[in-house]
A and B are shown apart, each in its own frame.
Chain A
């Protein structure tokens, strides 16, 4: 499954990394405690977080996270967006809550491959 296919069914705005939407997504993770993400964050996965400071891009880069989704249309620091473009990390915002986003993605098969 690619980011492209997934976001078609989710209200969203692409904030960074528009040219990398064909990336393959294998699983997902939802957490706002950064060290917990470092411990369990999925390689080539989607990460849903309410954190919007520039450090989330470092985490995504280090863990090879393909895409960050910011829920509830929380505004994202311009430095974060600039860094995401520089590091080629896809950042998307959505009006949905983290719970709704995770539910929809799971339903579409993200992290749900038996």
Chain B
């Protein structure tokens, strides 16, 4: 994915997400929220970005083998990207359905696996894009217009 540089003047922050690390889970989303608050972004947008970031981060912690979250802030929009190394989603359309989850029993006992993560991200964002291939990984992008 290349960034269209003519449109983009702003800042990029990126966060490494570790698979299976529940103690740190949510920290990237919390850092993003703090950053947006410091920048004086509208409270409603902060809430929507926070929800999307949290859900994407948790998805990565629970399901992926690890990856990276990136946030690009420009005067016009906030673009959130989550990229992982795998294992990839078998059926993306099914994963987008509310209530569908492949979370294991242990994760469900902790309250995860409601099958609302991806739908939550889509609902909160102005533009949503997801691409996944088994064995390759998942690329998710959510855009928030300012």
Which residues of chain A have a CB within 8 Å of any CB of chain B? 32-36, 38-39, 43, 49, 51, 53-55, 57-59, 61-64, 79, 87
A35 touches B29 (CB 8 A): no
B30 touches A62 (CB 8 A): yes
Q: Which residues of A contact B23 (CB under 8 A)?
A: 54, 79
Q: Which residues of A contact B55 (CB under 8 A)?
A: 35, 38
Which residue of B25, B33, B114 is within 8 Å of A35 (Cβ)? B114
Q: Which residues of B contact A63 (CB under 8 A)?
A: 47, 50-51
CB nearest to B34 among chain A residues: A61
Summarize A's interface: helix, strand, loop or mixed.
helix
Shortest Cβ distance from B33 into chain A, in angstroms? 6
In the bound complex, what is the Cα–Cα distance between A61 and B37 (angstroms)? 13
Summarize B's interface: helix, strand, loop or mixed.
helix
Which residues of chain B have a CB within 8 Å of any CB of chain A? 22-23, 25-27, 29-30, 33, 47, 50-51, 53-55, 58, 110-112, 114-117, 120, 123
Q: Which residues of A contact B117 (CB under 8 A)?
A: 35
Q: Which residues of A contact B30 (CB under 8 A)?
A: 58, 61-62, 87
B22 touches A35 (CB 8 A): no
Shortest Cβ distance from A26 into chain B, in angstroms? 14
Q: Which residues of A contact B27 (CB under 8 A)?
A: 58
B47 touches A58 (CB 8 A): no
Which residue of B29, B50, B58, B120 is within 8 Å of A39 (Cβ)? B120
Q: Which residues of A contact B58 (CB under 8 A)?
A: 34, 55
